[in-house]
Structure 1
Amino acid sequence: MAKRKICIVTAARSEYSASKWLMLELSGDPDVELQVVVTGSHLESRHGLTVEEIERDGIPIAARVPMMCDSDTPRAVAESMGRCALGMAQTMARLEPDLLVVLGDRYELLPICSAATMLNIPIAHISGGDITEGAVDDAIRHAVTKLAHLHFPGTERSAKVLRQLGEDESRIFVVGEPGLDNFNRLDCLDRETLGRDLGMAPDRKWVLLTYHPETRTGGDDSAVLANIFHVLDQQEGIQVMMTYPNADPGSGRIVDLMREKHAERPDRYRLEKSLGQLRFISILKQAWCMVGNSSSILFEAPSAKLPAILVGDRQKGRLSPVNVIPAAGNPKSLQNAFELAGNNEFRAGLRDLVNPYGDGHTACRVAAILKKTELATLLKKPFVLRDCSLLDEEDRNGGAQG
Structure 2
Amino acid sequence: ALEELLARERPDVLLVQGDTTTAMAGSLAGFFHRIPVGHVEAGLRSGDPQSPFPEEMNRRLTTRVAAMHFAATERNVRVLREEGVSEDDIFLTGNPVVDSLRMVLERPRQDGPIHDILRRLEGTRPIVLTTHRRESFGDVMSGNLKVLREFVEARPDASLVFPVHPNPNVREVSRRILGDVPRIHLVEPLEYFDFVHLLSAAWLIVSDSGGVQEEAPTLGKPLLVLRENTERPEAIESGVARLVGGDPATLRRMLEELWPDHEWIRAMKGVENPFGDGTAGRRIVDGLESWLARRERLASAGANA
Task: Please classify the TM superposition score into its range, dividing by the shorter chain length.
Answer: 0.7 to 0.9
1:202 aligned to 93, 109, 122, which one?
122
Query: In structure 2, what is the equivalent of residue 157 of structure 1?
Result: 75
Indicate yes or no: 2:62 matched with 1:144: yes
Q: Which residue of 2 aligns with 1:313?
A: 228
Q: String of CA shifts for 1:283-318, please: whole Å, max 9, x gaps.
A: 221101111211134211011111111112252563
Q: Work out whether residues 208 and 226 of structure 2, in 8 Å CA contact, stay in contact via their aligned partners in 1.
A: yes
Deviation at 1:329, TM superposition (A): 3.4
Task: Give the C-alpha shift of residue 344 in structure 1.
Answer: 0.9
1:158-188 Cα distance to aligned partner (Å, 9 max, x none) = 0011111111101111111110113432235
Among residues 175, 179, 196, which one is paired with 1:281 in the alignment? 196
Q: Does the 8 Å CA contact 2:77/2:92 hold for their aligned counterparts?
A: yes
**Within 2, Cα distance between the matches of 1:155 and 1:331?**
31
Indicate the residue corresponding to 1:333 in structure 2. Answer: 250
Range 111-120 or range 262-271, more displaced: 262-271
1:105 aligns with 2:19: yes
TM-score, length-scaled by structure 1:
0.65
Deviation at 1:190, TM superposition (A): 5.8
**What letter corresponds to residue 312 of structure 1 in structure 2?**
R
**1:359 aligned partner:** 277
Q: Which residue of 1 aligns with 2:4?
A: 90
1:194-246 Cα distance to aligned partner (Å, 9 max, x none) = 342567332222211111224xxxx562212222222222232233222344x
In structure 1, C-alpha distance between the alignment counterparts of 2:103 and 2:232, rounded to whole Å = 29
Separation in structure 1 between the aligned mates of residue 202 and residue 40 of structure 2, nearest angstrom: 28
Q: Note the C-alpha offset of 1:358.
A: 1.0
**CA–CA distance in 2 between the matches of 1:288 and 1:88?**
42
- Provide the secondary structure at the position in 2 that maps to 1:373: helix
Separation in structure 2 between the aligned mates of residue 169 and residue 341 of structure 1, nearest angstrom: 43
Tell me the number of residue pairs that the alignment of Structure 1 and Structure 2 aligns.
284
What SS does the aligned partner of 1:184 have?
helix
Kindly state the Cα deviation for residue 252 of structure 1 after the two structures are TM-superposed: 2.9
Where does structure 1 lack aligned partners over 5 or more consecutive residues? 1-86, 381-402
Letter in 1 for 2:116: R
Gaps of 5+ in 2: 299-305
Q: Which of 259, 280, 294 matches 2:209?
A: 294
After superposition, the Cα gap between the structure-2 partners of 1:377 and 1:367, relative to the gap in structure 1 and judged at 3 Å, is closer
CA drift at 1:375: 6.3
Distance in 1 (alpha carbons) for counterparts of 2:221 and 2:201: 9
Q: Which moved more, 1:342-351 or 1:155-164?
A: 342-351
Q: Are residue 253 (structure 1) and residue 173 (structure 2) matched?
A: no
User: Take 1:99 and 1:223, find their aligned partners in 2: how far apart are those partners?
Assistant: 44
- Pick aligned residue for 1:122 from 18, 33, 36: 36
Residue 365 and residue 90 in structure 1: after superposition, are their counterparts in 2 closer, same or farther (change >3 A)?
A: same
Q: Secondary structure at the match of 1:374?
A: helix
Q: 1:335 to 1:363 in 2, by over 3 A?
A: same
Aligned-residue offset at 1:353? 0.7
1:90-125 CA-to-partner distances (Å, cap 9, x unmatched) read 121122211100011111222211111111111000
Measure how far apart 1:333 and its partner are: 0.6
CA separation of 1:155 and 1:243: change in aligned 2, threshold 3 A:
same
Matches within 5 A, 1:24-43: none
Hey, which of these two has a bigger chunk of helix by percent? 2
**Identity rate, percent:** 23
CA distance in 2, matches of 1:373, 1:213: 35
Opposite residue 145 of structure 1, the aligned amino acid is T
Partner in structure 1 of residue 302 of structure 2 = none
Q: 2:161·2:187 contact (CA, 8 Å) conserved in 1?
A: yes
Given residue 143 of structure 1, which amino acid in structure 2 is its aligned partner? L
The aligned residue for residue 143 of structure 2 is: 227
Residues 122 and 148 of structure 1 are in contact (CA less than 8 Å); yes or no, is this contact kept in structure 2?
A: yes
SS in 2 for 1:315: coil
Deviation of the 1:345 alpha carbon = 1.6
The answer to whether the Cα contact below 8 Å between 1:238 and 1:268 also exists between their aligned partners in 2 is no
Using the size of structure 2 for normalisation, the TM-score is 0.84
Alpha-carbon distance in structure 2 between the residues aligned to 1:309 and 1:191: 29
Once the two structures are TM-superposed, the CA of residue 191 in structure 1 deviates from its matched residue by 11
